[in-house]
Structure 1
């Protein structure tokens, strides 16, 4: 028989609200909260360890729950009030999971090909942009995403939501700009920085070799450290009145050019 919690004042439920809302709680406990069937199924597929499933039976049946997990996981039946207290999204699927975080250091990054294609973002702050970058990485099936000088907790619920679960589908590593550049140089991965200065049109470059495409923020671009370490700065030719575009859109154009070259050469 499932354990049941019906009160929003339950100590465990109050802890979960803190876990959802506060980065420091997620870091301290080493776990985070996922909402939704698709996101939970992608986390399971990505070998994340599920600690607990919470479900509201009016919205999800135990049969669907069993199909989702396909394994014995601690489950808690919750009331409508508890579900509404924990749910972050307007869409109601009736299921949440408490999940163990993974380490995201460069040492844990396993490149499984001799010619990896990496997407690197320096200091992205907006969860929506990070989510969109992760969706692009998933769509292009890049080998890994690396975030330099991270400003936002990867398990922020807005990132999970905006990435539609793609935060769980790719290898993700984090580190300082210095550490990442050293990592790339040690593995002879060419660095292509999206930048306005000393740049050539992106489609003139050969991305079939081991490649890292590096993007910065729309506000400040890439740091001097990246620009000084770049093998080649690349630019997307603009035909309008402005000289920049959304970072996730730019990353998509560059990554899919690399994919096009690799598919046809």
Structure 2
């Protein structure tokens, strides 16, 4: 059994670095925390590299650890790598998946343009999972996919559907070439979403919390949609709007 007492241990410092985008990009690894996320990750063979737990934590017998190494930590060491206010004392290092997706193989897609709030991003990934989408595409300018707050908000949906980073403009061309309708979200030159027939095939673009979808992308869509506001609010939260549209368009 491996045990680390000091928060200044080199291995602890390395795990802590995975809380930064720079280290995640460098290593292709990321850190998850909490029983639910670790359990979901373990269901996907080859995802978890190593497991870390507080010394008095009981690891569930049902977990298939498949010879995954376990390191037990003192409270100080666990606190050093925690990113939550109420740590559960269980962590794992995971490998970023290598995902190749053919545009012709997907029918329900969410594309995210410059959404910067990690909570919004994670909520949209979780909602896309719940709505049965095939793919989420994360465009430039958005929060990092493996930011700890994104991971917590997504509640394990990273492990359930394909999420890729890429150029939304290039994906639009690919989808259009395969006959998949592409919908932007915009009040300008848009129409109420309920006027568009929902047939279960779509690529939906949602955009930045303040400025929305970029004009360059909106010019490439088949149609732009908006959700009517019936009260006095100026707008809907982007994650809420995305959820309404995904569930509507899937039919």
TM-score by length of 1: 0.88
- Could you say which residue in structure 2 is the equivalent of 1:158? 149
- Asked if the contact 1:127–1:158 (Cα under 8 Å) also holds between the matched residues in 2, the reply is yes
- Could you say which residue in structure 2 is the equivalent of 1:258? 249
Higher helix share: 1
- Could you say which residue in structure 2 is the equivalent of 1:75? 70
- Could you say which residue in structure 2 is the equivalent of 1:56? 54
Q: 1:241 aligns with which of 227, 232, 238?
A: 232
**Alignment map for 1:66-105 (pairs within 5 Å):** 66-103=61-98
Tell me how many residue pairs correspond in the alignment: 251
- Could you say which residue in structure 2 is the equivalent of 1:43? 41
Change (3 A) 1:227 1:217: same
Structure 2: which 5+ residue stretches go unaligned? none
Question: Could you give the per-residue CA deviations for residues 169-227 of structure 1, whole angstroms, max 9, x where no partner exists?
Answer: 22101212322222212322101111111212111212315311111113111112221
- Could you say which residue in structure 1 is the equivalent of 2:101? 109
Q: CA RMSD in A?
A: 1.9
- Could you say which residue in structure 1 is the equivalent of 2:195? 204
Take 1:236 and 1:31, find their aligned partners in 2: how far apart are those partners? Answer: 38
Structure 1: which 5+ residue stretches go unaligned? none
TM-score by length of 2: 0.92
Take 1:109 and 1:225, find their aligned partners in 2: how far apart are those partners? Answer: 24
Q: 1:191 aligns with which of 182, 205, 220?
A: 182
SS of 2:219 mapped into structure 1? helix
Q: 1:140 aligns with which of 107, 118, 131?
A: 131
